[in-house]
Amino acid sequence: MSDAPDGMTYADYLELKVLLGAQKPRSDHHDEMLFIIIHQTKELWMKELLHELRFAVGLIGEDRYAEAYKAMARISRIQAVMTLSWDVLSTLTPVDYLKFRHVLGTASGFQSAQFREIEFRLGLKDPKFIGHYPEGGPERTALEQALAEPSLREAALSALERASFDLGDKSTEALAAAWLRVYRDPERWFELYELAEKLLDIDDAMVAWRQKHVLTVERIIGLKRGTGGSAGAPYLRATLEKRLFPELWALRTEL
């Protein structure tokens, strides 16, 4: 029997009145609507990505690998969709953007708390970013929780330890050596082998996201500083060398 209340409509279920009323351009320039919708859509996808990420970490902690693989595959697909959205934003020319850039004030994508939480929950935990959000506010609380809880990377390393792998000092070299054992005997360690490949799918997708982000920013504002005071494209370019799982990249040279 359905639990849906009588008279439930598509618009009711999806809260479309609220959702479609959230776009409030602050100028009369046509292209500002695209700018708003692109960023709001990304925030929605990030909410779903975090939902799947927390789920995947919990499943790995319980050695429920088949279910974790499904959640991780979904994360990768979401990342791909988010990366493709940069192509839509790239239809915004520098001249178009300059017509309404002033209404952003100091607002910047650099301030996205959900993106920082994603980084934390994937394994890139940098406490200094917490200081960008007001103490006691919901964004800071979410980041503090993400910092304290196991990340995807930490969950994967715990899985190796449960399988009696020696992680040594947990340096990139020590972790690469542990994963190398998995890759040299994938039949024996298939669950961990498949886990590693799913981790690398996510890492690969994150690099693709960062690369496309830099290109889009350079295409629209060149090397100007960002609206929030960040260095803009030069700052973003400096993040391209970040890897979530450097040990999984390193081991490939040794195979």
The answer to whether residue 164 is domain-embedded is yes
Q: What is residue 110's predicted lDDT score, i.e. its pLDDT? A: 82
The answer to whether residue 185 is domain-embedded is yes
The answer to whether residue 133 is domain-embedded is yes
Q: What is residue 24's predicted lDDT score, i.e. its pLDDT? A: 98
Domain count of the fold of the chain = 1
The answer to whether residue 248 is domain-embedded is yes
Distance, in Å, from the CA atom of 97 to the CA atom of 95, rounded to the nearest integer, reads 6
The answer to whether residue 193 is domain-embedded is yes
Three-state DSSP class for residue 136: coil
The answer to whether residue 154 is domain-embedded is yes
Structural domain containing residue 188: 29-254
Q: How far is CA 61 from CA 45, 52, 241, in A?
A: 24, 14, 28
DSSP one-letter code for 18: H
The answer to whether residue 96 is domain-embedded is yes
The tally of CA atoms less than 13 A away on the side-chain side of residue 175 is: 17
Amino acid of residue 35 = F
The tally of CA atoms less than 13 A away on the side-chain side of residue 32 is: 14
Q: What is the pLDDT along the chain (255 residues), one digit of tens a residue?
A: 456 677 899 999 999 999 999 999 999 999 999 999 999 999 999 999 999 999 999 999 999 999 999 999 999 999 999 999 999 999 999 999 999 999 999 888 889 999 999 999 999 999 999 998 999 999 999 999 999 999 999 999 999 999 999 999 999 999 999 999 999 999 999 999 999 999 999 999 999 999 999 999 999 988 777 666 666 677 788 878 889 999 999 999 999
DSSP one-letter code for 5: P
Q: What is the CATH number of the domain that holds 211?
A: 1.20.58.480
Phi, psi of 151 (to 5 degrees): -90, 175
